[in-house]
Chain A
């Protein structure tokens, strides 16, 4: 503190800085309001029943809906949740329950790395590892790429909540004569379940919005397909493709798809909050 400062002036400056802080905060909140407002307004007016039940149709037949993309998004993301969830849980358990394991330092570095790597690169690696050997784009490959998006999110969340479980729980289990793995699966995980689910939900929401890794893996498909062995469409991919289209019908579909994805993200966030608050 500079001695001899004029108190009046310092108070004025204090006010001024508060004003700046409020202004800065508004600058952060404003885009959120603008984006959400636009998505809701335009998306709502573009949403209709056909959007959910009809697959792609040519423009001269009305343009159809995005059922193919909704089905594809759900299929790929559920499988990705299974794979990515398993990998992330395994990593989280290793880091938290076996803190001295020699693999841990590597795993932690790799998980941090994976978290920051562009999703695009995750799609590239799946393209060379799976798509080329299999000889086709598949929903399966898309799900694998999305799983890579989920892994670090689930891993971090799992590690974090497992560490919150008091050691006394584990000690009690071990004292009862339970083997360590039963302690982890039957005592530690269940008591941290809300947090684990939160991690899974956040991973799911994040992956559902990813388009970049799907471009070279799922390939996209205008037909409605219920098979992950086919090429599969996704909502995020559709938004990217339709955003560039000059046709207003396609543009509206992109906004409607954005609304659906936004609702998914909001729901995941709220559910996650609710799950963690319950404790």
Chain B
């Protein structure tokens, strides 16, 4: 899904490296509990935790048109000095160019594994969240359409929701997760397999790759925390994640360590 990473690399490589991290970096996302959807929340939270793990100063700005501000049309959006970057992978790569990375001390084989596990999240968790949001009728009518159209007046809220639904269904079809290709039960199975692999990788360590957190920890936290804490009409996703105790305690630890007293 990192469709702009190449262009942004080409654009910003030398320029980004030269400037230090600015004081007024901002992370833009739609309002939590209101407009934001599961998938978007997962990615935004992942990036937020990553920035906190890297101890970079930033502030979170909520705005209703974050999706349209993004160069690639996907959330979250990071404004860093003069640069605007969207989506987690380009943000991580951008920070790497500034010399900020959590995985640079890992041995090469583990760095490769890290890449593979991040792709696994992109390959399974992201489409699963999009499926639940847009291809599952109950969730679509009860949660998604209410949330997505909430900042707009009638009839714009209905039109935009319908348009986004068509776009998302086409996207899901293209990646093989369309309405006719999967059902909520098969999605749940895939999610279980993914969580099994993650739980296996984590075992009883504090973080996936030892004592220090990496990008994988941030992104996994973003996804699992969102799945655990978002109330949906059909709670199979949350139940699946909950059945893996070490993943649940992993989320609780990170929340305590990086978000303090938040529940």
A binds B: no
Binding site for A on B (CB under 8 A): none
Binding site for B on A (CB under 8 A): none
